[in-house]
Structure 1
Amino acid sequence: MKKLLLVFLFIGPTVFSQQELQEKTYFSEALYFHLSDYNRKADLAYRFNDYEKGKELFENFTSTHLEGSYMDNFKFRNLKKKEVALYDYKKPVFLITYASWCVPSKGEIPAINELAKAYKDKIDFVVLFWDKRDKVRELAEKFSTNISVVYVDESQNNGAYVVKQLKHSLGLPTCFLISGDKKIMDILRSVFPPLQTEEETAYRENYIALETSISQNLIKGYEGIYADNVQAE
């Protein structure tokens, strides 16, 4: 009996950890099984200019099939041309994708810079560009030094798998909030205020939307003081 108990003590935890690994669904797997159905429905909605339906389909797709999956260990390049893996970031990750031809939402970059300053000790902020290095170096100047700027250069036929999963699947800009163990907690589209919106108002709208998701998904128990103050004004 004692021998059986010892066997269970030594083998049991290993068995459970293997089961837990088997139960993990990765982002790329979730896309493989569900993306085509989403694309079919979304394409139909946008064909008839039903943008509200398209937005609803995106939110349902990401919340039902992608959130809760684990982000793959995708690899990029930093501005020093060094390979950087997503799992190199040990804190929870705020990841947003851009490109030089993609116009950011008004007020979005200042909001991200301010959030990176406020949360730099708790969250790794990563901006991923689908661009050539020289262009990315130029664009990186808009972002705070608290933000890690990385890129994938498609023109050199690099990172085809990453491009397929992170760019061609959901488009850009897309924001992923990822826990420390790389579980996807939330997926967001950028906030696009009307063109006539004042810069400060646009900044606040972006800040509130992003901070709300951060406080709910990455920093448990934190109250978004700034957002509360803004909403109270």
Structure 2
Amino acid sequence: MKPKYFLFAFTFFLLSNCNSKEDEKYADKLEDFAVSMKNKYGAEYQDKVEFYELNSFSDSINGVPIGNYSFKDYYGNEINLLTASKPVLLEFFASWCAPCISSIPALNKLSLEYPEVRFIVLAHDTSDKLKKYADQFNSNIHLIPSDKEVNAGKLLKLEVGEFQSVFPFPATFSIDANGIIQNVLLGAPRSGTFGGIKVTEEEVHEANLLRLRRELDKIVSK
């Protein structure tokens, strides 16, 4: 190959790689993560993945487009994840997750304080298991049941519509009005006695308000 053609080909290669990186969405990142874990741990990677690796993955998707998804809410209404260029607080919920249930009052309160933000809760549970909790969410929150419940070893998979996640419950995605992931929070406080120190539901509620309000202020100001 003559030098000038080689230079053209090399430049094209660089541009192609840059474009594909910029265009990479959350689903692509998730697939890459799953492949890397399978390569590292083998066929049983779902039981061997470490929490620090999930944390690293959550960091890697900051600044990545979430992509649009369509869901049916608990009442059968069609819901799009990205609508009218509004920021989104996306929360993952499971009926067996005590911190998830403790987060409901804070979500309800904040959904009234931040009407410019869409609050969407993706549930690990199917509709029948959500009956007990559906009325606890106010009408500003879109509660989306799962099509099926999926457990995959230490990777607790969430599958709602075409959206998938491997994060533990609860997890919170802060998404700006342009559909870009600004942050991912893993876990949440819960009440109980830990190391001899008692944590009350009131303290948990205040802690949830603080951590979620911080995320909301971030995406509203973008």
Question: By the TM > 0.5 criterion, same fold?
Answer: yes
What is residue 9 of structure 1 aligned with on the other side? none
- Partners of 2:49 and 2:92 lie apart in 1 by 24
> Does the alignment pair 1:166 with 2:160?
no
Distance apart, 1:163 and its partner CA: 6.3
Residues 151 and 89 of structure 1, relative CA distance in 2, 3 Å threshold: farther
> Does the alignment pair 1:28 with 2:27?
yes
Q: Secondary structure at the match of 1:28?
A: helix
- TM-superposition CA deviations, 1:11-51 (whole Å, max 9, x none): xxxxxxxx9798222001111223344575896575xxxxx
Residues 81 and 106 of structure 1, relative CA distance in 2, 3 Å threshold: closer
Residues 36 and 89 of structure 1, relative CA distance in 2, 3 Å threshold: farther
What is residue 138 of structure 2 aligned with on the other side? 144
CA root-mean-square deviation: 3.1
> Does the alignment pair 1:180 with 2:177?
yes
CA contact (8 A) 2:191 2:200 kept: no
Q: Secondary structure at the match of 2:177?
A: coil
Residues 209 and 198 of structure 1, relative CA distance in 2, 3 Å threshold: same
Q: Secondary structure at the match of 2:164?
A: helix
Task: Pick from 79, 87, 93 the counterpart of residue 84 of structure 1.
Answer: 79
What is residue 116 of structure 1 aligned with on the other side? 111
Q: Secondary structure at the match of 2:172?
A: strand
CA contact (8 A) 2:93 2:121 kept: yes
CA contact (8 A) 1:38 1:61 kept: no
What is residue 208 of structure 1 aligned with on the other side? 210
What is residue 187 of structure 2 aligned with on the other side? 190
Matched residues, number: 187
- Partners of 1:21 and 1:57 lie apart in 2 by 24
**Aligned amino acid, residue 164 of structure 2:** L
Residues 137 and 147 of structure 1, relative CA distance in 2, 3 Å threshold: same
Q: Secondary structure at the match of 1:68?
A: coil
- Partners of 1:84 and 1:45 lie apart in 2 by 33
CA contact (8 A) 1:132 1:153 kept: yes
Distance apart, 1:105 and its partner CA: 4.5
CA contact (8 A) 2:100 2:169 kept: no
Q: Secondary structure at the match of 1:91?
A: coil
Distance apart, 1:152 and its partner CA: 2.5
CA contact (8 A) 1:106 1:193 kept: no
Residues 20 and 144 of structure 1, relative CA distance in 2, 3 Å threshold: farther
- Partners of 2:123 and 2:84 lie apart in 1 by 17
- Partners of 1:200 and 1:161 lie apart in 2 by 32
Distance apart, 1:137 and its partner CA: 4.2
- TM-superposition CA deviations, 1:121-142 (whole Å, max 9, x none): x200111123332433442211
CA contact (8 A) 2:175 2:183 kept: yes
Distance apart, 1:192 and its partner CA: 2.2
Q: Secondary structure at the match of 1:127?
A: strand
Judge which range, 173-182 or 31-40, deviates more. Answer: 31-40
Distance apart, 1:82 and its partner CA: 3.0
- Partners of 1:153 and 1:177 lie apart in 2 by 23
Distance apart, 1:188 and its partner CA: 0.7
CA contact (8 A) 1:130 1:152 kept: yes
TM-score (ref. length: structure 1): 0.68
CA contact (8 A) 2:172 2:186 kept: yes
Q: Secondary structure at the match of 1:176?
A: strand
- Partners of 2:71 and 2:204 lie apart in 1 by 30
CA contact (8 A) 1:178 1:185 kept: yes
